[in-house]
């Protein structure tokens, strides 16, 4: 064994001489810049075949597994911030319009509730249209309700603007700003 007085980087290991010349045989001669890759196995078929295992889902004739109601509700909530923002804007604009009109608030409350029901119907229609077009015709999976919420938010924003257009002092201020 070598003495331990030399630093490790200066120590060398001696290899005993090999009986066959010392150089192991190589598969291919070394070529600079070319990676050595193992030989390919000959193909017996033009394309490999894979056996399918039945998992119980997706086979013709078998019922599709039902998702729980909470899963569907979670999908409907995704994108709800758009509808909430539109509803908040419509509510503020409706409040300005209702208070500016003076008098009894029963009529404006009924108008606002009916407007929200129309927005809910529009949301339902957008979901139904998305189901028919995206899922059935195009075969895509919808993971959220963002599109329907966005359509509803645009409607509610337009509704808020319509409430503001019926408020006289808002329109006077707008005319004064734009002229």
Reported confidence tier of residue 85, pLDDT bands at 50, 70, 90: very high
Instruction: Tell me: pLDDT of 78 over 80.
Output: yes
Instruction: Tell me: pLDDT of 32 over 60.
Output: yes
**What pLDDT was estimated at residue 160?**
96
For residues 108-132, average pLDDT? 93
Range name among 20-34, 56-70, 158-172 with the lowest pLDDT average? 20-34
| Domain spans, the chain | 70-178
From the list 156, 158, 160, the residue with the least C-alpha distance to 95 is 160
């Amino acid at each position: 064994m070598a003495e331990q007085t030399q630093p490790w980087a200066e120590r060398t290991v001696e290899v005993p001489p090999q009986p066959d010349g010392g150089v192991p045989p190589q598969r291919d001669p070394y070529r600079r810049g070319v990676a050595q890759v193992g030989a390919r196995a000959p193909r017996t078929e033009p394309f490999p075949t894979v056996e399918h295992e039945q998992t119980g889902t997706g086979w013709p004739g078998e019922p599709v597994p039902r998702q729980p109601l909470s899963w569907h509700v979670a999908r409907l909530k995704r994108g709800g911030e758009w509808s909430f923002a539109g509803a908040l804007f419509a509510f503020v604009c409706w409040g300005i319009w209702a208070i500016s009109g003076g008098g009894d608030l029963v009529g404006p409350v009924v108008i606002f509730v009916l407007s929200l029901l129309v927005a809910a119907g529009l949301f339902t229609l957008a979901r139904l249209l998305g189901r028919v077009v995206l899922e059935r015709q195009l075969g895509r999976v919808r993971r959220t309700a963002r599109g329907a919420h966005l359509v509803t938010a645009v409607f509610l924003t337009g509704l808020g603007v319509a409430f503001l257009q019926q408020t006289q002092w808002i329109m006077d201020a707008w005319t004064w700003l734009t002229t």
